[in-house]
């Protein structure tokens, strides 16, 4: 009797299942593909690379929001170099904020100047500073006409910078080292020397230009003012006569010693602009790397190798003028 009941129960269960579809298996998520690092772009591809860069979410801090807005407004070729120059991280590390008075040593073509003028805003002031007039003949490649033109650089640069027509720009001013106007003494919140030290070191041994330059920068700063240094850094084991600035690189200890000798205090340092792939030999200069790529104009393989390294290894040091 028990076996008969089991047979009837099994038959009933089979009949109940016959009219029901089988349950679908749970969906399977496809495996996530590992990210692929894009190759280093050639200079001609910089604009295309910048177009592909992700847009950062606007920061909550109003200063950071302003900085990001200014950075996002820069040309594509400028933005393509953010990966090496790290302007947001660098300016934040040095404590630069809107409304400050900031001296930029050697503004050159204005890569950082345009960012600073927009970020400091109408309540701020950007002051360009340049070599003493006696330094220009030391380079050996400038014509007498060009050297003569540099004699009026402090008067000319603010007008050149205004021609950029930067929206809500900072006020603009300029001076030449060894000719700091008395009224500028103690007016700056910060001084930035971004890749601006190597020639002062290079010409210092014979012409004594570094200490007077540092004295002017000390004088222009308010008590408690900051000096931010970003500079191509030579490894400690490289010969001193190679790391004398002529190849673009100088040693960290030399920078610290000279700034401390001028009265500044080292208060912090960062590796935000470091590049451990940059390992120059004694035959190399910093200009072998992007963006210059000097020496590989006709050597495609060498050019690709330099692009794979990227821009130079740089120290980032923060000094302070004592209160």
Say if 55 falls within a structural domain.
no
Cβ(104)–Cβ(128) below 8 Å: yes
Cβ(75)–Cβ(53) below 8 Å: no
Section 282-310 average pLDDT: 97
Q: Taking 70 as the threshold, does the pLDDT of residue 229 lie above it?
A: yes
Domains held by the chain: number: 1
Say if 75 falls within a structural domain.
no
Where is pLDDT greater, at 6 or 313?
Answer: 313
Say if 267 falls within a structural domain.
yes
pLDDT on residue 58: 53
Structural domain for 138, as ranges: 80-320
Say if 253 falls within a structural domain.
yes
Q: Taking 70 as the threshold, does the pLDDT of residue 24 lie above it?
A: no
Q: Please give the Cα distance from 216 to 290 (Å, whole number).
A: 32
Of 322, 307, 306, nearest in space to 262 by CA: 322
pLDDT on residue 31: 36
Section 15-37 average pLDDT: 38
Q: Taking 90 as the threshold, does the pLDDT of residue 211 lie above it?
A: yes
Q: Please give the Cα distance from 52 to 48 (Å, whole number).
A: 7
Say if 34 falls within a structural domain.
no
Q: Please give the Cα distance from 124 to 172 (Å, whole number).
A: 9
Say if 285 falls within a structural domain.
yes
Where is pLDDT greater, at 294 or 12?
Answer: 294
* Arithmetic mean of pLDDT over the chain: 87
Q: Which tens digit of pLDDT belongs to each residue from 153-176?
A: 999 999 999 999 999 999 999 999
pLDDT on residue 60: 76
pLDDT band at 243 (very low <50, low <70, confident <90, very high): very high
* CATH number of the domain residue 277 falls in: 3.40.50.150
Q: Which tens digit of pLDDT belongs to each residue from 122-155?
A: 999 999 999 999 999 999 999 999 999 999 999 9
Say if 89 falls within a structural domain.
yes
Q: Taking 50 as the threshold, does the pLDDT of residue 232 lie above it?
A: yes
pLDDT band at 14 (very low <50, low <70, confident <90, very high): very low
Helix axes 62-72, 111-120, angle to 10 degrees: 140
| pTM value surpassing 0.75 | yes
Say if 56 falls within a structural domain.
no
Q: Taking 70 as the threshold, does the pLDDT of residue 18 lie above it?
A: no
pLDDT on residue 59: 62
Q: Taking 90 as the threshold, does the pLDDT of residue 272 lie above it?
A: yes
């Amino acid at each position: 009797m028990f076996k008969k009941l089991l047979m009837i129960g099994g038959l009933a269960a089979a009949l109940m299942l016959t009219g029901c579809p089988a349950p679908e298996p749970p969906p399977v998520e496809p495996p996530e593909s590992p990210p692929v690092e894009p190759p280093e772009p050639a200079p001609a591809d910089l604009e295309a690379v910048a177009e592909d860069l992700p847009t950062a979410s606007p920061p909550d801090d109003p200063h950071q929001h302003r900085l990001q807005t200014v950075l996002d407004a820069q040309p594509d070729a400028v933005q393509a170099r953010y990966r090496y120059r790290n302007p947001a991280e660098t300016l934040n590390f040095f404590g630069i904020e809107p409304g400050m008075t900031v001296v930029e040593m050697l503004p050159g073509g204005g890569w950082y100047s345009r960012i600073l003028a927009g970020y400091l805003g109408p309540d701020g002031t950007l002051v360009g500073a340049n070599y003493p007039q006696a330094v220009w003949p030391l380079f050996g490649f400038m014509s007498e006409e060009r050297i003569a033109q540099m004699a009026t650089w402090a008067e000319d640069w603010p007008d050149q910078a205004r021609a950029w027509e930067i929206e809500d720009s900072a006020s603009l001013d300029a001076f030449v080292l060894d000719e700091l106007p008395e009224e500028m003494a103690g007016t700056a919140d910060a001084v930035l020397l971004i890749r601006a030290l190597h020639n002062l070191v290079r010409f210092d041994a014979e012409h004594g230009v570094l200490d007077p330059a540092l004295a002017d920068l000390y004088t222009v700063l308010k008590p408690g003012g900051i000096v931010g240094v970003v500079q191509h850094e030579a490894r400690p084991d490289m010969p001193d006569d190679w790391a004398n600035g002529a190849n673009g690189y100088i040693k960290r200890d030399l920078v610290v010693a000279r700034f401390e000798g001028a009265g500044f205090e080292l208060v912090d340092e960062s590796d935000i602009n470091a590049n451990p792939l940059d390992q120059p030999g004694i035959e190399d200069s910093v200009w072998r790397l992007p963006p210059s790529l000097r020496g590989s104009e006709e050597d495609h393989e060498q050019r690709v190798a330099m692009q794979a390294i990227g821009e130079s290894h740089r120290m980032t040091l923060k000094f302070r003028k004592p209160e």
